[in-house]
Structure 1
Amino acid sequence: MKMKQRSPAEREALLLELLDQMLRDEISAGSLLRKLRREVLGMSQTQFASLVSVSRRTLSDIETDKGSQSLALLNRVFRPFGLKVGLLPRHSQLMQQLMEKQMKA
């Protein structure tokens, strides 16, 4: 997979944009992982699966939102991006309040 190299600032901006899309329910966690793997790291499934010590099939299942993976596994695959799986409010109003509180802190 040959891709244009992104600067660290471009990778960070893309990461933030994709996270924003996920928080607005525009993309799933699996789609987020796939886009991050391809567009931020420029890695194939095989390469990334090896990096995070999972099978390519398991990675494919996560990226297509199949199965039910453990939190430990999800944390392992998101770790290279500086992310971890957590609990967030489902209602947008509560999410907004949480984000505002974090901005003030």
Structure 2
Amino acid sequence: MTQLTNIDREKLLIKLLLELYRGQLSEGALLRRLRKEVLGLNQESYAKLVGVSRRTLSDIERDQGQLTMSVYAAVFKPLGLKPGLLPRSDRLLKAMTSTLAQ
């Protein structure tokens, strides 16, 4: 696997977050891609890093099960992300992401 530079990691993170905000990528798919492409870790290693079972991580990446906020925060923390507030309105979220993309 090719090592990404810090700039390339940041560009990938922004690209994938915009896909998430536009509804093109689920949170589980985002986590899976960042785990693999940014950190280069398998599920077992990443689960140990964040303190969850491999099964829980697998469920999260498949968008299955119920997440507590503490688990949600823990699995995204190594990627530099934290839970936040987003508009519920698709129209407002699209307006926000189009502004960010400029």
**TM-score, normalised by the number of residues in structure 2:** 0.89
Aligned to 1:9: 7
Runs in 1 of length 4+ with deviation above 4 angstroms?
97-100
Q: How far apart in 2 are the matches of 1:62 and 1:72?
A: 13
Aligned-pair identity in percent equals 48
Which of 70, 85, 92 does residue 72 from structure 1 map onto? Answer: 70
Aligned to 2:29: 31
Q: Which runs of 5+ in 2 are unaligned?
A: none
The offset of 1:87, in angstroms, is 2.2
Count of residues in correspondence between the two structures:
99
Task: Give, as a single letter, the amino acid of the residue that structure 2 aligns with 1:52.
Answer: V
Q: Indicate if the aligned counterparts of 2:18 and 2:97 stay in contact, CA closer than 8 A.
A: no
Task: Give, as a single letter, the amino acid of the residue that structure 2 aligns with 1:36.
Answer: L
Q: How far apart in 1 are the matches of 2:97 and 2:23?
A: 17
Task: Give, as a single letter, the amino acid of the residue that structure 2 aligns with 1:34.
Answer: R
Task: Give, as a single letter, the amino acid of the residue that structure 2 aligns with 1:51.
Answer: L
Which of 54, 66, 81 does residue 52 from structure 2 map onto? Answer: 54
**TM-score, normalised by the number of residues in structure 1:** 0.87
Question: Larger RCO: Structure 1 or Structure 2 (Cα < 8 Å, ≥ 6 residues apart)?
Answer: 2
Q: How far apart in 2 are the matches of 1:67 and 1:47?
A: 21
CA RMSD of aligned residues (A): 1.8
